[in-house]
Structure 1
């Protein structure tokens, strides 16, 4: 325990908390929800321009505004990265370069010349990821014959057969199905320029590998032979089935899954299948992109997806952590909105759980085909704290659905149960992004925490979830974070969940986590973990301090009963770095889409998590003070 003199002032922490709550409440919509910007990288904007070029709907205004944004994100070395402060990314740089060429930037322009130099030194177009080369192939800048084949006949495989579309994660299957249509048609709609300056002239060598990689490389060669003369009847039927599958999964807002990759590829696939621009499905899809478009003084940019349900649940929990009354309009109106967003129908998840009744919440405004376990757990945690009788039926349905979504090993994944077959990860085109959805520590922790409040301690799902988490603890005492960066996020989620489920704070697993967090606290008092930790273990627990990651660490330490200098210094960091308007700056990305490949800066994270941390800290101090007054002298 520290002395009173070394503690951050309770009044300063309270002032910081009050200011942050005021700012958060001021951000809510008239309908009661919150949605912060979901910032990713410029591939979203480059591919949007390429999509519009492919469909023949690209306008000068959209192009100029998007190009302005893309230029603003270029670094001094001429490259683009996948996250703030990250290393140069070859494929991202190539796609940004092509978009700027579409915007009319000349090859001789200094910013393009230096970008082309990086591309050349890094192996050129030949070394780009498969998805980038697919985009280039659609415009005649890469030969289709040198891309892996995705046959639409995959649609014939039953759900129990390996490599069927439901072996893929929901975001991957919604991308793979339209890509089978694109791969079968092999379209070429030439650009008004060539990209010779990005080619090295040397084909990237794909060394033969033993095991399944070698088997699939051989299968790909056979499929290339088949593509020269596919069996007409089965091929046409497979293409029709794929197009029908795509149309059936369009959301009300025109999107597919509410995320960019399947959205753009679905529009291209349907266009190749005969759906013209005026068709209602196409029209909804194109118009829906406007809702995901942000325009400001830096230009025009697209969100890869939107997170209103997630943000609203986090905001409600943060305000309640801060001591805001459950009857406050910001809380009660958000609860009303969340109750209206409950999903009561089936989705792709029911392929693996056909007898499970629906219930739960998705990430997006219109994402009814894909409720997810993580959002559902966070909404349950929020709604139960509002103590509204009218929320009880929805909570009960959600708990039943969450419990039924447990995988065989007792853990929980985001969108599907038992989506763990790794065979599809060995296919030749799987060089970017996660393609399966296995259980993760952070999602399992959120479910365990929700179930701990809703189910008795002896509940089999709760007990198995706790055992799964104990087995998943890393050798260093931390937990891996699948959907947030990274071990700080995983550990920040798991420790509060275990304590809520009845694991004692003095238990060895909790003590090891506390030691890891205290060992990785930065000199300035905060916590940070660079996204490179997904690829390089040397970065685990290391990085510049950020508000969200500092808050995650603090919430874990507070749940573990810590009243240590580490906690006080972390709170001091938050108080010291708060902006005058009550929020915090956080240019660093702390959210994860695909570990190692795709990252997210949730603009609300910098606010909601510090509010929760400060609120829990002040409540702990008040509890300690009350306990000390009750102790006999």
Structure 2
């Protein structure tokens, strides 16, 4: 849809955006935008169904049509919009299209093949890609890192126990140890030799290095895998099955995210659970709810969300509407509050392994994820809910109190906050040959810590010890250039946009050196059009830090920091002008570029609601500041 071409005011733009946001609210009270990722989700969905014998042609063609539509002119697939070609993503897409019947010599397949071979071939793909290939006899299990199910028995004080891993990693690793123990092979009627380079493997690193030591440990695990202790192996498999089943959520999923979901289904299947077992039935039914189907000129397409974010989206929408000046007793806000209160988690999850005496009280990201609430969602929801005029103030107050206490109790020893676990900082899991893709630990990050500090300031606890320790953590972790790293959003614009408002809310003076340095960084990285953008390549290439095409969400993040600190009126006006001019006629913004982060450097997200809620928040705070300035005048 075309953008507005006539002159409009920020106030009018804000009204249109709020109107659009209202129209997206579900009758139950929640908001949820699509969470878009890349075609590995769709390729692995087809491979899962093929392995389990449930793949059907109509769904296969819909998924294949979607995968083909995402192929770029050079024959590759990327892990984010506008990003560079990605080898493993391209290989998985190619294999899925072969499964769907695309001829190996078709031009689009040959082009992808040529690029893969020229860039390292199958031999250079990540471990997870080669696991999928091994399931179909397209890669040898002997040439994959070994992860024995006996890992489940390691006590929490022992290195490499499952609680040393981040929650998303441990939920993936446990079922994969089962799959690895079975080493199943179910051949498909095609090969992948076309994608091999034939080059010899890279020699092992020196034994006195961490990499070399773990490579040799892996060789020892392979020897054990050939003749495991039968009784211990059987008990380990049983324990892993119990662990997996105990963590299945009401929606049928595991952790509300694709990797543990699909690997748990694979593990249970291999353990002998039939397709009509309640756990399997729930699991497959839940996955269907993650499928998005659309009609296109070329026919229907189907894509799979890696996750869904209704709690997070609803919390951000509540804050946006309140900042836009929507009355705190507005029916939409009250419906959202009632829904969010019903989503508060009051049972213990895996976080209690590190905090056994802490009472529950957080919120998760998804519709159903009781085992893994996170401090980031919880902080943002408290920031919104505490401002709502709810019909049952006692219920609201009690929920906020529980949430604040739980979040404070999740503070790590160094003073910062991770997302899902406390003190999940050990580096040992990152050294395993198995871990060549994505973050596998959950240490404190600047964006999460900032949101918690801002929340503590909002509830009157800025002077308390937890908040002060969090502030010190943020000050110690400011980058040399004045920015802050963004773990869950792209990237330094997100981190800086979170930290500056939090520090100022907690009492750090806007004229202090850390704030001034952050302001200078933001001003230096404002684009010529007045907005801000940061390419996701900044996670791997420092040359991209603070650089990229302007987006609505990233412009809003920068504005939130500048508005909080003050003293950058010209830059703010230019940023606001960009938001107003780029707004669509229906009140939202176009944002094809990804600005969310799953695993820095590896996996990225396009949150479809970010393009709306963050600009509303920024425009709302801009209008509030303008009115205050006019009142003082």
TM-score, normalized by length of structure 2?
0.97
Matched with 1:297 is 295
Matched with 2:487 is 482
Rounded Cα–Cα distance in structure 1 between residues aligned with 2:571 and 2:593: 22
Is 1:10–1:618's contact at 8 Å kept on the other side of the alignment? no
CA RMSD in angstroms comes to 1.1
Is 2:471–2:503's contact at 8 Å kept on the other side of the alignment? yes
Per-residue deviation, 1:387: 3.8
What does the per-residue CA deviation read over 1:331-369, in whole Å, with 9 as the maximum and x for residues that have no partner? 111011001101000000000000000001000001111
Rounded Cα–Cα distance in structure 2 between residues aligned with 1:455 and 1:46: 49
Matched with 1:154 is 151
Rounded Cα–Cα distance in structure 2 between residues aligned with 1:357 and 1:532: 40
Rounded Cα–Cα distance in structure 2 between residues aligned with 1:192 and 1:538: 45
344-353 or 222-231: bigger deviation: 222-231
Structure 2 gap segments, 5+ residues each: 1-5
Match of residue 187, structure 2, among 183, 187, 190: 190
Per-residue deviation, 1:456: 3.1
What does the per-residue CA deviation read over 1:300-358, in whole Å, with 9 as the maximum and x for residues that have no partner? 00100000000000001001000011111111110110011010000000000000000
Matched with 1:266 is 264
Structure 1 gap segments, 5+ residues each: 1-8, 629-633
Per-residue deviation, 1:563: 4.4
Rounded Cα–Cα distance in structure 1 between residues aligned with 2:135 and 2:500: 48
What does the per-residue CA deviation read over 1:356-413, in whole Å, with 9 as the maximum and x for residues that have no partner? 0000100000111110000000100010011431310000000000000000001000
Rounded Cα–Cα distance in structure 2 between residues aligned with 1:268 and 1:416: 26
SS at match of 1:385: coil
Is 2:522–2:558's contact at 8 Å kept on the other side of the alignment? yes
Matched with 1:34 is 31
Is 1:477–1:513's contact at 8 Å kept on the other side of the alignment? yes
| 1:328 and 2:330 matched | yes
Is 1:126–1:203's contact at 8 Å kept on the other side of the alignment? no
Rounded Cα–Cα distance in structure 2 between residues aligned with 1:458 and 1:29: 39
Rounded Cα–Cα distance in structure 2 between residues aligned with 1:116 and 1:294: 28
Matched with 1:129 is 126
Per-residue deviation, 1:11: 6.2
Is 2:204–2:215's contact at 8 Å kept on the other side of the alignment? no
Per-residue deviation, 1:231: 1.0
| 1:558 and 2:560 matched | no
Is 1:259–1:305's contact at 8 Å kept on the other side of the alignment? yes
Matched with 2:249 is 251
| 1:424 and 2:429 matched | yes
SS at match of 1:294: strand
| 1:354 and 2:347 matched | no
SS at match of 2:387: helix
SS at match of 1:491: helix
SS at match of 1:490: helix
Matched with 1:366 is 368
| 1:109 and 2:106 matched | yes
Matched with 1:23 is 20
Matched with 1:567 is 572
Per-residue deviation, 1:202: 2.2
Q: Taking structure 1 as reference, are residues 393 and 145 closer, same or farther at Cα in structure 2, changes over 3 Å only?
A: same
Match of residue 498, structure 1, among 496, 503, 512: 503
What does the per-residue CA deviation read over 1:57-88, in whole Å, with 9 as the maximum and x for residues that have no partner? 00001100000110010000000000001000
Rounded Cα–Cα distance in structure 1 between residues aligned with 2:8 and 2:529: 21
Match of residue 54, structure 1, among 30, 51, 58: 51
SS at match of 1:296: strand
SS at match of 1:153: helix
Rounded Cα–Cα distance in structure 1 between residues aligned with 2:358 and 2:461: 21
Is 1:455–1:462's contact at 8 Å kept on the other side of the alignment? no
How many aligned residue pairs are there?
A: 620
Is 1:479–1:490's contact at 8 Å kept on the other side of the alignment? yes
Matched with 2:3 is none
Per-residue deviation, 1:455: 3.4
Structure-to-structure mapping, 1:331-410, within 5 angstroms: 331-388=333-390, 389=393, 390-410=395-415
TM-score, normalized by length of structure 1?
0.97
Match of residue 283, structure 1, among 261, 281, 284: 281
Is 1:127–1:204's contact at 8 Å kept on the other side of the alignment? no
Q: Taking structure 1 as reference, are residues 206 and 614 closer, same or farther at Cα in structure 2, changes over 3 Å only?
A: farther
Matched with 1:216 is 214
Per-residue deviation, 1:30: 0.9
Matched with 1:4 is none
Rounded Cα–Cα distance in structure 1 between residues aligned with 2:123 and 2:417: 39
| 1:473 and 2:478 matched | yes
Structure 1 outlier segments of 4+, above 6 Å:
none
Per-residue deviation, 1:192: 1.6
Q: Taking structure 1 as reference, are residues 32 and 513 closer, same or farther at Cα in structure 2, changes over 3 Å only?
A: same
